[in-house]
Amino acid sequence: MGKQSYAVTIAGGGSTYTPGVVLMLLNDAEKFPVRKIVLYDNDAERQKTIGDACAIYIRERHPEVEFSYTTDPAEAFSGIDFVLAQIRVGKYAMRDKDEKIPLKYGVLGQETCGPGGIAYGLRSIGGVIGLVDYMEKYSPDAWMLNYSNPAAIVAEATRRLRPDSRIINICDMPIALMDIMASMCGLKDYRDLSYGYYGLNHFGWWWKIEDHAGHDLMPHIKECMARNGYADATAGLEFVDASWQATFEKAKDVYAVDPSTIPNTYLKYYLYPDYVVAHTDPKHTRTDEVREGREKRVFGTAREIVRRNTAEGFGLKPDEHSEYIVDLASALAENAKERFMLIVPNHGAIENFDSDATVEIPCIVGSDGYERICQGKIPQFQKGLMEQQVSVEKLAVSAWIDHSYQELWQALTLSKTVPSAAVAKQILDDLYEANKEFWPELS
């Protein structure tokens, strides 16, 4: 792009992550100079609270940056270089149903895994495709960095429906886990690691971790994993909630299933679904925790900033969650040729896996986009799990495209989290009823 400074649209302007992303965008003008930030949301009221608070912060600290918020796509997507997409179609009210409906039938309820993840996928596809189309209409040279979930299903949908679009799908979990691994080894953060990884989003394994001098860090990380999973290292400070701590501890048991690799935390939902159900209160799930925690905190602070008409004295600081997003935008803008973990079509990078599958692997990023780093052949255990899960994701996208009840039933039936086709059907019928406003009509 070679411009002096960049214009960025944040889609899902009313997201709980928006203030942290805005602060991170403004954090380092040398690395990533920003001249304009626009928030875009389809819920004017939710976005106004966050937008008014951000406006006060920018007026006080960065008056040189142009800032606005809008629900008008033409205004939001014209004249921009990057779209950071973080929408939640159906908001927390629907996440609540994704989590609680499967639990009624003894199946785990999770934002991105199992039946709840599939239900969320069928809501998100249309929303994210809509953002891609706005970007291509109003700013065809821009890049979209999408982390709206479920990223695996969204990425598969954009691969099939918008194959030539300038969208890159990403997740912060591998970054957070690599920060923890770096801390286990006395290093600063994920940038100090060189790594090999293969999998799907929220479904992958590290097979190599070295420092930049080429020292193998796997033996030490494995010792830590065998002792207490990810729980002993403290780098993942954003994940302070008790349920995240439990997930970090459970990684010990996930690791035990294949001690030759280091697992993504999300594999607990597939390898220990019975344990997860037994440790979930079906009346109080993760959505309740997020609404009582992060949402209350972020919106409470925003309202207080607006009431006092100043953002001073709140100790505001950039959100670590968003650091890699700004790093990635900077690598695209400045042709950095740096390594990032991306969710991309396989195209042979995992040699013995479906070439058309959407996978999560390390890539090199520069101004032309990304180049895959070949990960070679994967072992039978991972291959078997991944083939099953990628089929779930492909069938879910096919169901959306074909408006097919049958394909969606197959997707739920194939999920490792669901015990039978009969249970899959019961859950599907409830989810379909709850999602009438958001899913295509199925037949």
DSSP reduced 3-state for 391: helix
List the 262-263 sheet strands across, edge first.
193-200, 203-211, 262-263
Strand partners, 196: 208
Q: Nearest approach, Cβ of 282 to Mn ion (angstroms)?
A: 24
Q: Nearest approach, Cβ of 151 to Mn ion (angstroms)?
A: 6
Question: What's the angle, vertex CA 134, arms to CA 130 and CA 137, rounded to 5?
Answer: 135
Binding mask 118-137 for ligand NAD (x = CB under 6 A): ---------x--x-------
Binding mask 179-208 for ligand NAD (x = CB under 6 A): ------------------------------
Q: By CB under 6 A, which span of 7-15, 245-253, 379-387, 409-417 interacts with ligand NAD? A: 7-15
Name residues contacting Mn ion, limited to 150-189 (CB under 5 A).
Answer: 171, 173
Q: Nearest approach, Cβ of 66 to Mn ion (angstroms)?
A: 31
Cβ distance to ligand G6P smaller for residue 149 or 301: 149
Reply yes or no on whether 266 is catalytic.
yes
Distance, in Å, from the CA atom of 435 to the CA atom of 319, rounded to the nearest integer, reads 32
Name residues contacting ligand NAD, limited to 19-58 (CB under 6 A).
Answer: 41-43, 46
Q: Nearest approach, Cβ of 421 to ligand NAD (angstroms)?
A: 28
Distance, in Å, from the CA atom of 276 to the CA atom of 336, rounded to the nearest integer, reads 41
Name residues contacting ligand NAD, limited to 139-158 (CB under 6 A).
Answer: 147-149, 151
Reply yes or no on whether 172 is catalytic.
yes
Give helix then strand counts, H and E, for the chain. 17, 12
Q: Nearest approach, Cβ of 396 to ligand NAD (angstroms)?
A: 16
Q: By CB under 6 A, which span of 168-176, 209-217, 221-229, 386-394 interacts with ligand NAD? A: 168-176
Distance, in Å, from the CA atom of 170 to the CA atom of 155, rounded to the nearest integer, reads 9
Q: Nearest approach, Cβ of 290 to ligand G6P (angstroms)?
A: 5
| Options 172, 179, 327, 430, the catalytic residue | 172
What does the buried/exposed string (b/e) look like for 51-73 if buried means 16 or more CB atoms within 10 Å of the residue's CB? bebbbbbbeeebeebebebbeeb
Q: Which residue is nearest to ligand G6P (CB)?
A: 173
Nearest to 427 by CA among 98, 22, 71: 98
Cβ distance to Mn ion smaller for residue 53 or 171: 171
Distance, in Å, from the CA atom of 300 to the CA atom of 417, rounded to the nearest integer, reads 36
Cβ distance to ligand G6P smaller for residue 131 or 171: 171
**Burial label, 142 (beta-carbon count in 10 A; 0-12, 13-18, 19+):** buried
425-430 CB contacts, 8 Å cutoff, 24+ apart: 426/105, 427/101, 427/102, 427/104, 427/105, 427/107, 427/115, 428/115, 430/101, 430/104
Catalytic residues: 172, 266
Binding site for ligand NAD (CB under 6 A): 11-12, 14-17, 41-43, 46, 86-89, 91-92, 127, 130, 147-149, 151, 171-173
